[in-house]
Amino acid sequence: MSSPFGYVSPEQVMKDRADYARKGIARGRSVVVLTYIDGILFVAENPSSALHKISEIYDRIAFAAVGKYNEFENLRQAGVRYADLRGYAYDRADVTGRALANVYAQTLGTVFTQESKPYEVEIVIAEIGTDTSGDQIYRLTYDGSVGDEHGFVAMGGSAESAGTVLAEGHRDGLSLDDALALAVRALSQADNGERRTLVANQLEVAVLDRTRTARTFRRLVGPQLDAALGAEPDESPLESGGDKGDGPHATT
């Protein structure tokens, strides 16, 4: 029997959607997430001071993403609402990174299979424990697949080269300064083998810090970031304006 005119097999549809999503994500600037002795470090190449790729979700949980800004921002807001409602209805301890990752996986999987266009995003949900053994990092891709990462993860356009640098340099017990230096080195490594120079106003940096008793999420900005990068305080002001091309539909 001949195929109906215009018929496309389900396998081809899924392949086309996956290729579309991967191309969109590859255009985004990279993000790396890695553990250090006192928590989890997030570093993103992001020249915009207004459009964040790294954000707090709940007490000990943070979110990082690459891809279409408006799409991952919708996911972030939905995650905050889920966490707040679950913490209010039950207990704050019932809000976990694993549960949030499962919710995101269902959402991304549904969009990928049922909507006309998949989300062009890749996200990380990270949660710190009371010690390093309790730290959790979950990586979610455009189709809802979930990976339980150990120690570090890289996403975005230069994820392969950044991941290689992290694999070579990451170890247990890194200090914050050493972890930040490793993350910047990973982001500076281009896929063609060349190395770029990144300064503070090109980076968005945050940590989940287990030494803090209240809010564990904090951003490293201004002189604090300059000092960690070994720069003079006035050399690379983080408060400078963002990329004029960024907007709600930008790929970051």
Q: Which residue(s) pair with 126 in the sheet?
A: 62, 137
Confidence at 235, pLDDT banded by 50, 70, 90: very low
pTM: 0.87
Taking the chain, what is the end-to-end CA distance rounded to the nearest angstrom?
Answer: 47
The distance of Cα 126 from the centroid of its chain, to the nearest Å, equals 9
pLDDT at res. 204? 96
User: Does the pLDDT of residue 233 top 50, yes or no?
Assistant: no
Confidence at 192, pLDDT banded by 50, 70, 90: low
pLDDT at res. 232? 39
3-state secondary structure of 198: coil
User: What does each C-alpha distance from 124 to 29, 80, 137, 193 come to in angstroms?
Assistant: 15, 14, 7, 26
pLDDT at res. 157? 83
Confidence at 2, pLDDT banded by 50, 70, 90: low
Going along the chain from its start, the domains and CATH numbers come out as 17-229 (3.60.20.10)
Residue type, 90: Y
> Of 49, 43, 24, whose CA–CA distance to 244 is shortest?
49
